[in-house]
Amino acid sequence: MNILAIETSCDDTCVAIVEIRGKKNPKFNILANIVSSQVKIHTKWGGVYPTLAKREHQKNLPLVLKRVLKKAGNQKINLIAVTVGPGLEPCLWVGVNFAKDLAQNWDLPIIPINHIEAHIYANWLNPQLERAVGQADITLRKAETPVLGWRPTICLIVSGGHTQLILMKNHGDYKILGETRDDAAGECFDKVARILGLGYPGGPAIAAQAKAYRGPASVTLPRPMIYQKNYDFSFSGLKTAVLYHFRSQKPEIRKSKGYIRKMAAETQQAVIDVLIHKTLKVAKNYKVKTIILGGGVVANEELRKQFKQKLDATHHPFNFLVPPKNLCTDNAVMVAVTAYYHWLREKTKIQRLAAGHPEVRANANLRL
């Protein structure tokens, strides 16, 4: 079957067509995958401006769809999937209404998808088992893609709007064990980048400056909630600590490359320390077999490297899965893969949605 997926939860207009073959060990073939970024438009605002993002989605969706259909060779579409939340509500509605129009015109079922769940399922696409019982860097064959053979699983989702630890017992069976109480990790990076004058988006800018730093760790920033007994996160205090330290410096120091790189490196390390510590803690306490990462911040090279190093040093034999970098950030491929597993579980319900689609609506605060 071929699934056409649409993702407009934030500022990327994403459309993809994914071919799925097989049921027990499905193989996912990406026929077309296009992401139209709005970064240049929102840079001057230091973040995503929802009204502008909505307008760009409305303009881009028909154009991106045309390109995707052409690239896929105008293959027959069997299902339509669309992200319905969480995200920016004006942006979500553009994608939802566009998908509903397509489903009605093409007389196809439509599947509403949770954005967080889609980030988890990015790991079902050419997964790489980074560590498994004493082995490292094993690339899995596609026939081995049923990741849940290693369940139960802990999923760490880290993005601009979310930082969550999710227990996944099976397809569709989730329990949120911990989440951010204020700023998400990606949001913290954006705010710190703005303080340091690095622009938007903050995550890549912070990572680039941190990589260029060669000096000693002469600044120590807080690791919020790292040793608390719960599995929640808080990064607002980290951002505030950077702001106070920045304001305490002389103007010439604030503008120096050395200072900016030093603060970026320490901020990045503080976030990484908290994410790894909390994830390993919950994984041990719940006796899981696998740790899965997902979300835009997971594209951070230092986070991926240090996670693997920490796992290699531990005696607990966790499997460790992380998506390819291009599938960590928002994309429609992960939406299509998620939709396929919904299709397997809910065929009757999904077929009913083909008539009018009353249950498909945007929900900015959708929970997993």
Q: Report helix, strand and coil shares of the chain as percent, to nearest 5.
A: 45, 20, 30
The pLDDT value recorded for residue 140 is 33
Q: Domains of the chain: which residue ranges?
A: 2-121+330-352, 129-322
CB 337 within 8 Å of CB 86: no
Per-residue pLDDT tens for 23-65?
A: 777 899 999 999 998 888 878 777 788 899 999 999 999 999 9
Domains 2-121+330-352 and 129-322 share a fold: yes
Class of 2-121+330-352 in CATH: alpha beta
| pLDDT of res. 149 | 60
DSSP-derived secondary structure letter, 45 = G
Q: Which CATH number fits domain 129-322: 3.30.70.890, 3.40.50.300, 3.30.420.40, 3.30.930.10?
A: 3.30.420.40
Averaged pLDDT score across all residues of the chain:
89
Nearest Cα neighbor of 335 from 24, 139, 110, 179 is: 110
CA distance 17 to 20: 10
Is the Cβ–Cβ distance between 294 and 162 less than 8 Å? no
Give me the amino acid identity at 192: V
pLDDT tens by residue, 223-256: 999 999 999 999 999 999 999 999 999 999 999 9
* Beta strand pairing call for 79-85 and 110-114: parallel
**pTM of this structure:** 0.92
Better-scored residue on pLDDT, 137 or 327: 327
Instruction: Walk across the sheet containing 163-170 and list its strands.
Output: 135-139, 128-132, 319-322, 290-294, 153-158, 163-170, 173-179
